[in-house]
Amino acid sequence: MNKLTTLLTTALIGLASSAVYAEIPKQTFNQDLHNMLPADIQKSGSMISVVNGSFPPYTIVKGGNQFDGAAVDFDHAIGELLGIKIEHKNVSGLSSILMGIKSGRYTYDAGPVGDFANREESVDFVDFVQEYVVFAVKKGNPKQIEGIESTCGLRVSVMAGGSAERVIRKQSQDCTAQGKKPVQVLSYTDQPTSILAVESNRADAFFSSQAPLSYFVKMSNGSLELTGTGKANGFDTLYQGAVVPKGSSLAQVLKASYEELHKNGTYDAILKKWDLTGNRLDAPGINLATTTK
């Protein structure tokens, strides 16, 4: 069994143990919300929610077209509210997902995906959590990374096409401008491969959202830790949410659904189940971006 398989197996064991301490309330069908759905979705009775590989604790690909995680729990609850079936499809790479949503190939991405003003030009976001971007490093932080400013000359893994990649590449340019060695940016298509680069000493740190990194650290049996927490690390306020086609009425449907989950306690129950209470938003919103990617 290689390290990646071991890591994923450990994560799924942690997933199984976490599921016992939080009950997710079953939702009551809401006719008013159902009536808000686009006509083609009402007719088909289903939507396709895409998944960009494992992005724990929001999405965890278990194999055999089986998925789990906070975003999947949200999808399940929303499906019950709307009276429709929400199917999941694993699509590699954020760029492919966004193109597929814009072209109508996929209904939406439950995400959560980082909301940035320039992304809002082609798709709409229904933001339901707030996020922070930090580093996962080997226990003891051997390279003494305290924040993004201390990454010059180091190897940093990121998810390809994401906002963290853009920010760390800019930092690399800043390092060069200061006469220091550039950051060696290692881009991967998914979270498990990115964290494996740190585990296997191919990277000094993984720069990504705090929620999934916290999950990986928790499942690492003490071999990893977080650093750079409580710092901006090149970002302003960062909202994350579901992604829908630009101008689609589905944005209002999802927003109203998240509002109902807030009101009936399901939103907080899902966050608690997956240790995401620190990412809570008081209310969902559409296109809340405060900065450009």
Q: Average pLDDT by consecutive 10-residue portion of the chain (293 residues)?
A: 44 42 84 96 96 87 87 97 96 87 92 91 95 96 97 96 93 98 95 93 96 91 94 92 96 98 97 92 95 72
Question: What is the model's pLDDT at position 21?
Answer: 41
Same domain for 21 and 117, yes or no, is yes
Three-state DSSP class for 277? helix
How many other β-carbons are positioned within 10 Å of the β-carbon of residue 30? 16
Whether residues 277 and 242 fall in one domain: yes
CATH number for the domain that contains residue 101: 3.40.190.10
- The residue from 206, 227, 248 where one domain ends is 227
Domain range spanning residue 143? Answer: 133-227
Question: Order of strands across the sheet with 108-115?
Answer: 85-90, 46-51, 108-115, 238-245, 123-131, 280-286
Residues 144 and 112 in one domain: no
140 shares its domain with 213: yes
Task: Give me the pLDDT at residue 6, please.
Answer: 46
Instruction: Please give the structure tokens belonging to residue 260.
Output: 């109902």
Task: Give dist(CA 22, CA 12) in Å, integer.
Answer: 16
Nearest to 240 by CA among 271, 205, 272: 271
DSSP readout, 122-158? TEEEEEEEEE-EEEEEETT-TT---SGGG-TTSEEEE
What's residue 293's pLDDT?
Answer: 65
Torsion sign, CA atoms 74, 80, 82, 86: positive
Nearest to 106 by CA among 52, 30, 33: 52
User: How many domains does the chain divide into?
Assistant: 2
Looking at the structure, tell me whether residues 30 and 73 fall in a common domain.
Answer: yes
Tell me if residue 260 falls in helix, strand or coil: helix
Same-domain check for residues 61 and 206: no
Q: Which residues of 125-153 are buried (b: 16+ CB within 10 A; e: fewer)?
A: bbbbbbbbbbbbbbeebebebebbebbbe
Q: What is the pLDDT of residue 193?
A: 92
- State pLDDT tens for residues 178-220: 999 999 999 998 888 999 999 999 999 999 999 989 989 999 9
Residues 6+ apart with CB under 8 A from 183: 151, 152, 153, 154, 155, 156, 168, 169, 171, 172, 175
Residue 57 maps to a domain: yes
Q: Which two tokens stand for residue 124?
A: 């709409």
Please indicate, yes or no, whether residues 167 and 186 belong to a single structural domain of this protein: yes
**Do 247 and 187 sit in the same domain of this protein?**
no
Q: Are 79 and 18 contained in the same domain?
A: yes
- Dihedrals φ, ψ of 68, to 5°? -150, 175
Q: What's the whole-model pTM score?
A: 0.79
- Identify whether residues 122 and 253 lie together within a single domain: yes
